[in-house]
Amino acid sequence: MRVREDSGAVAVDGVAEKPLERMGLTVVALGGNALLKKGERGTAAEQRANLASTFRKIAPLLREGELVLTHGNGPQVGNELLRQELGAAEAPPLPLYLAVAQTQAEIGALIAAELPPVAGREAVVLLTRVVVDADDPAFENPTKPVGPFYDEAKARELEHERGWTLTEDAGRGWRRVVPSPKPLEILELESVRSLLQGGSIVVAAGGGGIPVVRRDGRVDGVDAVIDKDLASAVLAAGLGAEHLLILTQVPAVLRDFERGEGEPIPELRPGRDEAILDGLPAGSMRPKVEAAFQFVLATGGKATITSADALGDAEAGTTIVPASAP
Amino acid sequence: MRVREDSGAVAVDGVAEKPLERMGLTVVALGGNALLKKGERGTAAEQRANLASTFRKIAPLLREGELVLTHGNGPQVGNELLRQELGAAEAPPLPLYLAVAQTQAEIGALIAAELPPVAGREAVVLLTRVVVDADDPAFENPTKPVGPFYDEAKARELEHERGWTLTEDAGRGWRRVVPSPKPLEILELESVRSLLQGGSIVVAAGGGGIPVVRRDGRVDGVDAVIDKDLASAVLAAGLGAEHLLILTQVPAVLRDFERGEGEPIPELRPGRDEAILDGLPAGSMRPKVEAAFQFVLATGGKATITSADALGDAEAGTTIVPASAP
């Protein structure tokens, strides 16, 4: 077992209990563009080509050290929901949480094919459930659009028959909205630890994880979606990771992103820079910075938000460090 | 670490290298009726109710000892292929091997919900790939029907456009047939071992596993399906399991099954009873007995073929033991 002594952590005896907290674990959250580019429809071939390209760009990171990979699933779960709806006359539609599960397997299998040739080691894919609070206010106020567009008559029918919430989406039609509750706990955390000890890259918490709630001594799936960066932060903190790396389309967090002004921010510190959050778009960069802040606050570790292209460039990227860092 | 000395195996020092081979591991292969009953369409609610009922019947088995669960996916992958076809105009169909992956997640998530309340411990679901030989003769002679029925014109179109093989199925229309190659190796074998050491029930090799071939230093998915009992035997042998338990609809293997004569067979021994195979139906009981024979020959362990209802009945079931057993 390798104990990193250059990590700033004090090396102690008796690390066997929780060895991962001292071993330089990195959690990498792959952005949507690692899987699909604008205008692509979501074929397996497209996803494989994009994954292979992303992995080649970040190859040095993949080749050594303990590594957990997470990923989004927006277009994939959208496609799956389309299939469920269009096939409904002949094959019963599955609940949303199972569609999320299906995308973990779809994308996981593609990653498991494309990663080893670049990384020189195996990737294992763990079905991952993420606990949310049944009383999370998001359940009262579903906001995340998923699946196909409908006309108003069909929307009313679905509200009536399935109890869905649908809202009109900027003239494009009616669309189902689902809750996006806060991730609290990764159920498979210890399993991820076990798999890491085997030396593989572990693919987990895909699509933000399968949302589940605890009730009556059970753990049941719920129809919701979880932000993948927030889930990645919970996973990374739970594992005691040293580094949370959030890969996205832009090389760094930009100041006043909403106003289109592009000054990149080299460093952010939670407890000092929360004001930046207001200027960031709610559906994209804001949860990434929030996730990075949460991880750094919970662990004292480091987070980075950058693109696969810029990863090797020490001048690029936004680094998030504790307020007390030197 | 618990070392079973009552298993007939000689206890030796230095078991740490491969501890599972001495720990009474059981691999349970769930039959299709554990998930869906005749006439059911495959909703999540149906599958959950059936799983809960099956788990209650076999509860004593689930509550202790090391346990790996495998399962079939016939109706589920059929439904997924229907969705892929009916949704094709709006969401690109995925290759069959990814549909198999999707069913591992669908069924795995349902098992992970229904198992812990009965077993009193967690279940973890591992995406599992199974290596087949690219030169397996099955690829030259696809025989396993999957997915929806088509009329002849559509069948010709699909043969032309997608390179599928379709055959007419007893007046019900044309149907795609795919290869069912022999499973050779479970890629995630060491990961299953790691997860078992964490104390969870491991759900693996669902639907016979995602079929992959090794070529050019890569491991790529192929459009095929693998018999889940044969895959379970390869998994059980690889793990050095003590017991392979194949659960099916009937309490025991019946002599002259094809002729409808129902004399149950209490014991079978590979190397002595191969002649029984000819009288068994190719698509259902024969691969179960073949799987049991392969496992017993490879490991010297024991296999059982029975139903969930009959599991507690010491008089029921067919036990498969080595030819040299007392």
Residues of B with Cβ-Cβ distance to A92 under 8 angstroms: 41-43, 79
**pTM confidence score:** 0.92
Contact between B105 and A101 (Cβ < 8 Å)? yes
Residues of A with Cβ-Cβ distance to B113 under 8 angstroms: 212, 218-221
pLDDT reading at A10 higher than 60: no
Rounded CA separation A112/A132 (Å):
28
User: Minimal Cα distance from A90: which residue of B?
Assistant: B82
Distance from the A197 Cα atom to the nearest Cα atom in chain B, whole angstroms = 8
- Judge: B89–A86 Cβ closer than 8 Å, yes or no: yes
Which of B102, B55, B103 minimizes the C-alpha distance to B75? B103
Q: Does B87 touch chain A (CB under 8 A)?
A: yes
Q: Which of residues 132-191 of B touch A (CB under 8 A)?
A: 148, 187-188, 190-191
Q: Does A122 touch chain B (CB under 8 A)?
A: yes
Q: What's A183's DSSP letter?
A: P
Which of A80, A89, A87 minimizes the C-alpha distance to A107? A80
3-state SS class at A216 = coil
More confidently predicted of A148 and A93:
A93
Residue-range domain boundaries for chain A:
25-132+186-320
Q: Which of residues 198-227 of B touch A (CB under 8 A)?
A: 198, 200, 210, 212, 217-221
Fold of A25-132+186-320: Carbamate kinase (3.40.1160)
Buried b (16+ CB within 10 A) or exposed e, B280-305: beeeebbbbbbbbbbbbbebebbbbb
Which of B194, B53, B4 minimizes the C-alpha distance to A192? B194
In tens, the pLDDT along A230-240 reads 999 999 999 99
Rounded (10°) CA dihedral B78, B81, B82, B83: 130
Q: Does B43 touch chain A (CB under 8 A)?
A: yes
More confidently predicted of A116 and A162:
A116
Pairing of β B243-248 and β B26-30: parallel
Residue B141 known to be catalytic: no
Distance from the A143 Cα atom to the nearest Cα atom in chain B, whole angstroms = 23
Rounded CA separation A178/A272 (Å):
33
Q: Give the one of B82, B89, B117 whose C-beta lies nearest to A90's C-beta.
A: B82
Is the four-CA dihedral B31, B37, B39, B44 of positive or negative sign? negative
pLDDT given for residue A313 in this prediction: 87
pLDDT given for residue B4 in this prediction: 38
In chain B, DSSP assigns E strands to 26-30, 67-71, 123-125, 129-131, 144-150, 165-168, 174-178, 185-186, 201-203, 210-215, 218-221, 243-248, 267-268, 302-307, 318-320
> For an interface test with B, which of A36, A69, A83, A196 has the most B Cβ atoms less than 10 Å from its Cβ?
A83
pLDDT given for residue A12 in this prediction: 38
Q: What's B108's DSSP letter?
A: H
Rounded (10°) CA dihedral B243, B244, B249, B252: -60
Alpha-carbon Rg for chain B in angstroms: 20
Distance from the A108 Cα atom to the nearest Cα atom in chain B, whole angstroms = 8
User: Minimal Cα distance from B216: which residue of A?
Assistant: A117
Could you say which of B50, B288, B301, B302 is catalytic? B288
pLDDT tens, per residue, chain B with 326 residues: 333 334 333 333 433 344 433 458 999 999 988 999 999 999 999 999 999 999 999 999 999 999 999 999 999 999 999 999 999 999 999 999 999 999 999 999 999 999 999 999 999 999 999 999 999 999 999 999 998 889 999 999 999 988 999 999 878 899 999 999 999 999 999 999 999 998 899 999 999 999 999 999 899 999 999 999 999 999 999 999 999 999 999 999 988 655 656 789 999 999 999 999 988 888 789 999 999 999 999 999 999 999 999 998 878 899 999 999 98
Q: What's B181's DSSP letter?
A: P
Pairing of β A218-221 and β A210-215: antiparallel
Pairing of β A243-248 and β A302-307: parallel
Q: Give the one of A83, A108, A191 whose C-beta lies nearest to B127's C-beta.
A: A108
Contact between B198 and A196 (Cβ < 8 Å)? no
Distance from the B129 Cα atom to the nearest Cα atom in chain A, whole angstroms = 8
pLDDT given for residue A36 in this prediction: 95
Q: Give the one of B97, B106, B198 whose C-beta lies nearest to A194's C-beta.
A: B198
Q: Give the one of A102, A122, A194 whose C-beta lies nearest to B105's C-beta.
A: A102
Contact between A288 and A246 (Cβ < 8 Å)? yes
Calculate the CA A97 to chain-centre distance: 15
Residue B228 known to be catalytic: yes
pLDDT reading at A264 higher than 80: yes
Q: Which residues are registered as beta bridge partners of A145?
A: A177
More confidently predicted of B93 and A14:
B93
Mean pLDDT over each residue of chain A, to the nearest integer: 90
Residues of B with Cβ-Cβ distance to A87 under 8 angstroms: 79, 82-87
Distance from the B283 Cα atom to the nearest Cα atom in chain A, whole angstroms = 23
3-state SS class at A248 = strand
Rounded CA separation B67/B25 (Å):
6
Size of interface A-B (CB pairs under 8 A): 163
Tell me the DSSP string of A76-141: HHHHHHHHHHHTTTTSPPPPHHHHHHHHHHHHHHHHHHHHHHHHSS-EEEB--EEE--TT-GGGGS
- Residue A146 sits at the vertex; the CA angle it makes with A140 and A148, to the nearest 5 degrees, is 130
ipTM of the complex: 0.91
Let me know if B144 is exposed, middle or buried by CB neighbors in 10 A (0-12, 13-18, 19+).
Answer: middle
pLDDT given for residue B259 in this prediction: 60
Could you say which of A228, A240, A302, A317 is catalytic? A228
Which of B79, B10, B26, B9 minimizes the C-alpha distance to B300? B9
Q: Does B110 touch chain A (CB under 8 A)?
A: yes
- Judge: A122–B198 Cβ closer than 8 Å, yes or no: no
Rounded CA separation B31/B270 (Å):
22
- Judge: B92–A43 Cβ closer than 8 Å, yes or no: yes
- For B247, list phi and psi in degrees, rounded to 5: -95, 130
pLDDT given for residue A172 in this prediction: 85
Alpha-carbon Rg for chain A in angstroms: 20
Residue B302 known to be catalytic: no
Q: Does A75 touch chain B (CB under 8 A)?
A: no
Q: Does B120 touch chain A (CB under 8 A)?
A: no
In tens, the pLDDT along A209-221 reads 999 999 998 999 9
- For B138, list phi and psi in degrees, rounded to 5: -60, -30
